[in-house]
Structures are given as C-alpha cells and as structure tokens.
Amino acid sequence: MFVKNLIILLRKEFLLEFRQRYAISGIVLYVFSMVFVVYIASIKVQPQVWNILFWLIVLFASINAVVKSFVQESGARQLYYYQLADPVTLLLAKIMYNTLLLLVLSTLAFGAYSVVAGNPVKDYPLFALIILLGSLGFSIAFTFIASIAARANNSATLMAILSFPVILPILLTLVRLSAIALRLIQDTSYKRDIINLLAVDVILITLTFVLFPYIWKD
C-alpha cells in the first residue's frame, strides 16, 4: 500500500513537471545563466575558485528548484492530497523526486561549467558520489524548509534565511570532499567525512518525518 502510494505520488510529480514545462526549463536556464555569469565575471577560474563557485551555483539552483515544490500547488489542492494519502508518504515522494531533479540539475551544471570554465576533476567516481550525496542532503533540507516557508507570507525570503544556516554543515563538508576529488588537498581519511554527511542526512530525514505531520495541518 505504502509503496503503491509512493509510486503514484512520484508519478504525479513527474507528470506535473512534464505538463508545466516552463518551471523546469526556467530552472535549467537559470543554471546556464549563472554558469555564464561566472565565466564572464572571471575568465580564468583557478581550481580552488572553481570548486567553491560550482557549489554556489548548485546551491542557488537547488533552492530555486525546490522552493516551488510546495508553492506551485494551491493550498486547497494540497489539502486534497493529504486526505488521499499519508502526509509522510507525500513528503517522501517529494524528497525522492527533488533528489532526482537536483541530481539532473547538478549534472547539467557540471557539464555546462566544464565547457566554459574547464574541468579540474581528477577523481570522477568520488566526484559523482559527492554530487549524489549533495543532491540528497540539499533535497531533504530544502524540501522540509520549503514546506514551512510556503505557509508564511514572505516565502522567498524565509526560504533563504531558514535554509542557509541549516544547510551550512552539509555545504562545507561537500566543498571539502570535492576539494579532495579535485586533488586540491590530500586526505586519505575522507570516508569519515562521507559518514558525517550521511549521519547529518539521517538526522534530518528522521526529524522531517517526525515533524511533518505538524506542518501540513491547518
């Protein structure tokens, strides 16, 4: 039952995205514009700067991609969903969908960024793992914050100020790990960082499931 609902809800998210193509194309264009702004503003990008700018691009694109997951559908329709399905299933579907979306977005950003600013990545398997972990962490934190911010009056501002402090430990760990993948720093014990990152993800997702039932009720 749970899995069946989850699949139906996931399908709904994909359908919605497919039918409102302007949203996803807007985000993709947003990523490309940011990449080009970075390129034009700093023609030659050093690997250290490349690393930080890449994660900033992914961070801002992720916020803009996720914030719409609760804002785009009206309150009445949301209430209707909550009557049909368990809210936690609904949230899980959104998190899974957003993870996939962010994974696609960061891969696109990486591709475009490599074309214009060069590609200093040395350890591809590690870098792919980091992008996956980053998409997962961003998706959990931003989806949950978006569900809070969507109910307030100034959701766009709130989304930024609520999520930046929460995302910071994840972001700093990602920047550090990807510096290892770029061979900017030597660290053989980076597995501990990956475990830290996963631990933060587990804490966040547990809290999300415990707290979400209190958010959707009006």
Partner 1 sequence: MWWKILAVVLLIYVFIAGLLVPLKPGLVRISPETAKTGQSVTVQFHGYNTFYGKSPASEIRAWLEYDSLHATAAADLKVLSDTTLEATFHVPVNMPHESSTVMLNAILDHPVDGVSLLPGALQLVKDTVPMVGAGTWVDNPVSRLHIVKDFSYPYRNVIYESIRNTYFHVPMWFALIFLFLASVFNSLKYLRTQNIDFDRKAVAYAEAGLLFGIMGLITGMLWANYAWGKAWSNDIKQLMTAVALLIYLAYFILRSSFDEPEKGARLAAVYNIFAFASLIPLLYIVPRMFASLHPGATGNPAFGSQDLDNTMRLVFYPSIIGWTLLGFWIAQLRIRYQRLEDRVVGID
What is the binding site for partner 1 (CB under 8 A)?
144, 148, 151-154, 158, 161-162, 164-166, 168-169, 172-173, 176, 193, 196, 200, 203-204, 207-208, 211, 214-215, 218
Amino acid at 144: F
CB of 6 to partner 1, least distance (A): 23
69/117 with CB nearer partner 1: 69
User: How many Å apart are CA 40 and CA 151, to the nearest integer?
Assistant: 38
CB of 152 to partner 1, least distance (A): 4
CB of 23 to partner 1, least distance (A): 25
22/214 with CB nearer partner 1: 214
Q: Distance between alpha carbon 107 and the CA centroid of its chain, in Å? A: 12
Tokens of 37: 């702004």
110/208 with CB nearer partner 1: 208
User: How many Å apart are CA 106 and CA 53, to the nearest integer?
Assistant: 13
154/188 with CB nearer partner 1: 154
45/200 with CB nearer partner 1: 200
Task: Compute CA distances 52 → 24, 146, 160, 177, 180, whole Å.
Answer: 25, 24, 19, 11, 13
CB of 7 to partner 1, least distance (A): 28
In this structure, the number of other CB atoms found within 10 A of the CB of residue 160 comes to: 14
CB of 98 to partner 1, least distance (A): 17
120/169 with CB nearer partner 1: 169
User: How many Å apart are CA 20 and CA 104, to the nearest integer?
Assistant: 17
CB of 8 to partner 1, least distance (A): 27
Reduce the DSSP state of residue 20 to 3 states and report it.
coil
Kindly give, in sequence order, each residue whose CB lies less than 8 Å from that of residue 207, ignoring residues fewer than 6 positions away.
144
